[in-house]
Structure formats: structure tokens, C-alpha cells
Chains A and B, each alone.
Chain A
Amino acid sequence: MNALMMLWPLVMGSAVTMALIHLSNWLHDRKLLEHLLLAVAAGSVAAFGVIELLMMRTTDIPLYLRLHLAGHVASLSYLLSVVWFARLYLGHRGVVVPVLLSLARMVVLLLEAVLPYGVNFREIKALSPVEFLGVPMMLPEVVPWSLSRAAEASALFCGFYVIALALLAWRAGRHRRACVAAASVGLLVLFAMANSILIHTGTLRIPYMLSFAFLCVIAPMGLDMSAAVARAAALGRQLRARELEREELRREVEHIARVSTMGQLSASIAHELNQPLAAILTNAQAGRRLLLEPEPRVAEVVSILDDIVADDKRAGDVIRRLRAMVEKRHTVEVESIPVHELVADAERLAQGLIARSGIAVSLDLDPRQPCIRAGRVEMQQALLNLLLNAIEALGGNPEGKRRLSVRTELEGSTVRIRVRDNGPGIPADAFGEIFRPFFTTKPRGLGMGLPICRTICEAHGGTLNAANHPDGGAEFVIAMPSAPPA
């Protein structure tokens, strides 16, 4: 086999590879239309290569003409995809010229299909064997006509259009892309046009070798696009790393806020732990004495031991809740949680403080017991924060007039948790500020509570909003998408 004949399979292989690469890029992200166009162009080149090879072997004129028509179809899809690709690649917005060029090429294809010997030839007299660069092949003996120049001009204009876009891109400072496009299209214009015109005019009897030129046009741009994909991937990795870093920081801040919330609750928690411990001690001392009596009261001692067990569990629960809140966690465990459980747990943690502050709490929980998908500890933190804010806001109310209500409701596919107090409400001048980090109205506040609550809710696809209730006091509303129960 001759070295020349090795070129076609090489070109087709490269074209198919390129088409697959860009197709997969496009499938990966459907917004990357330029990759799709490039894939079509490369696919057309491969088809062109096949057609060219078949044409060299044909001895039958009608078959030769059908292959010529097929070549025009491939060239239409090639030129159109290159024109539209160049428009995207070089960042041009105009559509008039590419539309006109597309229409022109379609007319050319129509003529090719309608005319007896196609658009390029007046007549093909015969197919006769010729040796080209040492390879024997069948080539046509043609009668040329000038209509062929119009067809060639339409292809030439496609090339000019790309070069014009390259000039504009150069002016806009996109030098690399402009050079790549202009140089590669320049090759096409020189080589492909020379090749076609020589055949169409019957000047030289040589085979079509357009697929080489076509590949030369798109290969540099394709390589540049692939480099862009690689750059984008690297950028994506960097971004992801940043994102992870930010996520880590966010969790860190959330943890600090949780620990500080628990600090605020420490007296309340100490009280909760102290009660069962005191009861256990007293029970144990009483039990010891009852057993030492001349007639030990065993039944009483049994009930003492039952109480001790229950109190021990009570203390254990307090510690477990506390530990869950202060433990440092590296991942958020998202699960389906019934909101009434969240409310009850948060209320328990704040119970000591609520009792000491003389606040009447009313819980109005939706009997359908809706669930949300979220991190349990995080949501509890958010809810607890809202409760603590409300408790603090109620400090100015006279004793006996401090009310706090927590309400859960399911409306459509949204679960709402409303935390409302009858305190002074949110001052008008602070309204836009309360969710801003470091904004605080408290003398020792960090200003991180509400922003963190909002971030937590938003991280789980929900929202947190504040309003002053028409009947007085502030109302904070967490709205989350509802989830099926676990």
C-alpha cells in the first residue's frame, strides 16, 4: 500500500476521535454548544474521508455522481458547523452573515441534487484510470462550467467570514483564538479551494483531498477547546477546594456558636443535671436506712431503686443532648426528622432558663407530625437560638406577662416553625440588619446567632424570616420543604 493511501484512514481516525471527544464534552454540559458544533464538523470530516476514498474506486458514473452529492451533504454540514462554531469561538453576536452563508450552501446542495451532473460539472464524460503519486485510481474526465465558481465562492465566503471574525477578535484583544482561527482557515482556503477548482475546471486530474484540509481547519481549534476544557477542570477543582474550605469554616463557626449557646444554657443544664443527682443521693441514703431497720421495708426500697434508675437515665439524657450539641462534627448527617421532635428537644434544653425567667410557653404542634430533611443538631441549634433570643426579648416584660409560643404547621409541601414572643418586637431601624453578621443589639452578643440560623436553614433548602406580629412581639418563621418520614 502506498504511503498516500495511509493518509485517509489516519485522517478519518483523527476526525472520529475528535468528534467523540467533543461530543462527550457537550454531553457532559449541554450548554457547551461549540463542542457539539465541533463534533459535527469532525464527524463530517470523517464522512468526507470515506466518500473521497470510494470516489477513487468508482468506475460507474451514476454512482460517482451520487457519491459527489453525498460529499456535498458532508461539506454542507461541515461548513455550517464551522461557521456557527467560529461565531461562538470568536465571540461574535451577529447572525445575518452566518444565516446567509447557511442559506447559500443549502442552495448549492439543492442545485447539486437537481442538475444532471451536479453543480460543479457540465458533464462527466468518463471515469478513467489515472496514476496519482504512484497510486492507481479512477478519476473523471470533466466538461467544466462557470456555475461551479458560484458554489466554490459560497465555500470561500465561509472562509472569509471566519477570517473577518478572527480580525474582529484580534482587535478585541483575543489574540490567541484569532490567530488559531485565521491560520487554520487560511490553510483551508489555500488548499481546499485549489484542490476543488483544479478538479472542477478539469485542469488537473487529481482526487478530492478536502478531508485533509478540513481536518487541518478544525484540529487547532479543537485542540484549543480541549485545552480550555482542561483549564476549566483545573479551575473547577480549585473552586471545589475553596468551597470545601469555606464549608469547613462554616461548620467551625457553627460549632463555636453552638458551644457559646450551650454556655448561655450552662446554668440551666447544671440545674437539669443536679435534680436527678440530688434525688439519687437522697434516695440512696433513705434506702440504706430503710434496709437497716429491724424490719426492712423492702417494697419501699424497690421503689427507691426504680426511681434511682429513672433518675440516672434522666441525667444521662441531659448529658447526651449536651454532648450532641457541643461535639465537633465534620459532616452534617442529613436525615428525615419530625419537626415536633425538634421543637420538643430544643424546648427541653431551654426549659431551665424558661422556668427561671418565668415565661409561659405554649407549644402548638401540627398533629400530622410533618418531617423535614436536615441535620438534626444544626436545626436544633437554629431553633434553640430563636428560643434564646425570644427569652432574652421577654426580659423587659413584667413578670406574669411573658409569653412564648412555638407553632408548627404543614402547608402544601412547606413545613413552618413559628417562634413568637410578646416582647418589644424588632426595632424598625434594626429590621434590615438582624441577619447581617456581627450585627447585635446585645451588650455581649457576637452578632452571629441569626446569620448562622439563616445559613443552616438555607443549607437545607429552607428560609428563615423575621417579622413583627400585628398583635405585638417578634415572630421568626423557619420554612422548610417537607419530607417523607424516615
Chain B
Amino acid sequence: MAEAHPIVMVVDDDDSFRRSLARLLLSHGLEAWLFESAEALAGCGVFPEYGCMVLDVRMPGLDGLALQEKLGRGGFNLPIIFLTGHGDIPMSVRAMKHGASDFLTKPVDEAVLMGAIHKALADQSHAGGIRARVKSLTHREHEVMCHVIAGELNKQIAARLDITEKTVKVHRARAMEKMGVGSLAELVRACAVAGVDPAGKP
């Protein structure tokens, strides 16, 4: 399950603000990794397993939104909280569409920021738990689950995978059990959180 020690990655081009945020996080018992630009972050290489990112939108060089998209393509799955001096609606829509956890404006109130960080960390630990469950599925179970959440009937799945309908039912029940869900609706939601691609390959 989730590690006990979450890391908050802060990417902001303003030295003083970066330092102040690190102190605030420290006072809340959170460790911060500081980066002055998207390029500096790219040079880091290793990302924490458990944590989140506080990202400035407007930075010289690669800006926050572009960095988010680039990280997304690279399979980065930590939640991202945007923090910007002046955000507009197109900017926030673009960020949220690409899965941002929150979009806040500077100066930000402590309670709001910490609320967003804690929610992101909770989401991440929840998602991390579900991802661990997904990993425990066999190849076949995962395959069947993907077809199930894509809305296919057992009969269709059997035909597609060239197995009997009975076997599909067994895999499906196993998958439901391992994922710890009692209904199809819960399974779909859990898969969404863990980022399982419906009808995709495991």
C-alpha cells in the first residue's frame, strides 16, 4: 500500500516563493523537492512513488501546462495541483482536462492549499491501493475486466477471447473479488481511479 512518507514536488521559477512553500510544507510535516523550472525537473529522473506536484503555470522555458502534458505522455501518475498568479478559464479547463487535481491562484490561503495537497495525497494513496490490486490480477482476469468495464456482455467477451462463457464468468468473479468491489458500478469507478484503459491490453 501507500508509503508513509509523501513527497511534494514544487516547480516554480520564483526563488522566494519556492522557499516559502517548502517551509509551509515542512511545518505540516511534508517533505518538499524543489525545482526552479520544468527543465530542472526533467533532469531529476527519479520520481517519488507517493506524493503530488505543485506546479506554476507561468514559467520561462517550458510552462506548467506543457510540462503536465509531457509528463502525462511519459506515464507520470502523481496528482498535479496548479498554482498560478493569474489563471484564466481556458487555462484551468486545459489543466483539468489533462487530469489536474486542482487549480489554485496565488497568493493562496494555507487552508486551501493544504486541503488540496491532502486531498491529492489521499487520492493518490487510494489510487495507489487500487493500482496494487490491479497488479494482482492474472493476465486473463485483467483482460476480461477490461472488456467488462467497456460494457461488453459475457457472451460477447467469450466470443472475442475464444473461450467459453462459463470461463468468462469465473474470471469475472475472481477479478471482482481481487478488486474488492461488489458491483459492476464499483468496478468501473475503481478502474477509472487507477487509470485502467477499458478494452485495453493489460
Contact = CB atoms under 8 A, between A and B. Distances in A.
Interface of A: 267, 270-271, 274-283, 285-287, 289-290, 293, 300, 304, 307, 310-311, 314, 355-356, 358
Given A271-B85, A271-B86, A285-B110, A278 B27 contact: no
A270 B16 contact: no
Nearest to B85: A274
B23 interface: yes
A274 B106 contact: yes
Contacts of B108: 278, 281-282
Greatest chain A CB density within 10 A among B23, B28, B85, B110 is at B23
Contact of A275 (B14, B23, B27, B28): B14
A282 B17 contact: yes
Q: Is the interface of A mostly helix, strand, loop or mixed?
A: helix
Contacts of B24: 282-283, 285-286, 289
B56 to A, nearest CB: 10
Contacts of B58: 271, 355-356
A287 B23 contact: yes
A270 B59 CA distance: 15
Given A279-B16, A311-B16, A355 B60 contact: yes
A280 B17 CA distance: 8
A285 B25 CA distance: 10
A307 B106 contact: no
Interface in B95-152: 106-110
B37 to A, nearest CB: 11
B189 to A, nearest CB: 35
A438 B107 CA distance: 41
Q: Which 3 A-B pairs have the closest CB atoms?
A: A289-B27, A286-B23, A278-B106
B21 A282 contact: yes
A293 B29 CA distance: 11
Contacts of A358: 60-61
A289 B21 CA distance: 13
Given A274-B106, A280-B107, A314-B16, 4 more contacts: A270-B86, A271-B58, A286-B26, A355-B58
B172 to A, nearest CB: 49
Nearest to A289: B27
B70 interface: no
Nearest to B62: A358
Nearest to A310: B16
Chain B interface, >50% SS class: loop
Nearest to A360: B60
B94 to A, nearest CB: 16
A356 B16 CA distance: 19
Contacts of A275: 14, 16-17, 85, 106
5 contacts: A270-B86, A280-B107, A283-B16, A290-B26, A355-B58
Contacts of B17: 275, 278-279, 282
A304 B23 contact: yes
B8 to A, nearest CB: 13
A282 B86 contact: no
Interface string B75-104: 000000000011000000000000000000
Contacts of A279: 14, 16-17, 19-20
A135 B135 CA distance: 144
A307 B19 contact: yes
B155 to A, nearest CB: 53
A300 B22 CA distance: 11
B200 to A, nearest CB: 33
Given A271-B86, A274-B107, A356-B58, A293 B27 contact: yes
A300 B26 CA distance: 11
Contact of B20 (A267, A271, A283): A283
Contacts of A286: 20, 23-24, 26-27
A277 to B, nearest CB: 5
Interface centre among B19, B26, B107, B110 (most CB of A within 10 A): B107
B23 A290 contact: yes
B58 to A, nearest CB: 6
Interface in B54-78: 58-61
B54 to A, nearest CB: 11
Nearest to A356: B58
Interface string B42-62: 000000000000000011110
Nearest to B106: A278
Contacts of B61: 358
A358 B62 CA distance: 9
Contacts of B106: 274-275, 277-278
A259 B174 CA distance: 71
Contacts of A293: 27
